[in-house]
Structure 1
Amino acid sequence: MLPQVVVLIAGGAFIGPLVTRVGLDKAAWLSAGAVVCGLAVYGLLGRFGYVWVALALVLVVAGMRVAGGSGSRAGARGVPSPRCTLYGRPRVHPVVPGPGPGTKTLPKPFDD
């Protein structure tokens, strides 16, 4: 567990510059490769000592940390901004039929 905790805490210093340097899509591919390599190291060399298990944990956790950040960013980027509260309150003003001809707009629920 210690290698995972160290990588999660210290990884923040490296992940931001990595994503800035290579871009979001390439960082996601690199993180997926790190996870696969970590699982391969664990599967092939894990029985030969704790060093290999620790290396596998470091690779998997580093890959998952980058994948989590890039995945949440890509998910937020895919939602239209008027429907997403991540970028502020939605600006939807309902229109209801009024008593006379035409329609009447309800008062705005938010202070603009």
Structure 2
Amino acid sequence: MKNITKIVAPILILGLFLYGVTHFSFDEKIQEPILRKEVIKVHNGYGYQIFSGEKLLVQQEFIPAVRGNQPFQSAKDARKVANLVIKKIQDRTSPQVSVDELKELEIVFSGQ
């Protein structure tokens, strides 16, 4: 009887482990948080906010990567950069924006 217990116990434990892995890990889908943007009016221009659900992740009142505190000249420009930042967050890359990326998006700013 002892020999059977030595064989059955590890098989039973392994079976329970595999059952748990297949039923609990693969049935639940990992959902990425839904990111959304809001363009905001700031003094002399526009900025943007990025939210994950109701949590504020980013509040950008000035054009990133540009010297001085220059707001976006249009809501459209703020929206384009917010979209870029959201894509970077979703791609799990650094959300920093470069001057070259601003130029690619045709964002208007002083000191171009």
| Superposition TM-score, scaled by structure 2 size | 0.32
The structure where helix makes up a greater share of residues is 1
| Superposition TM-score, scaled by structure 1 size | 0.32
The structure where strand makes up a greater share of residues is 2
Work out which structure has the larger RCO, using CA pairs closer than 8 Å and 6 or more positions apart in sequence.
Answer: 1
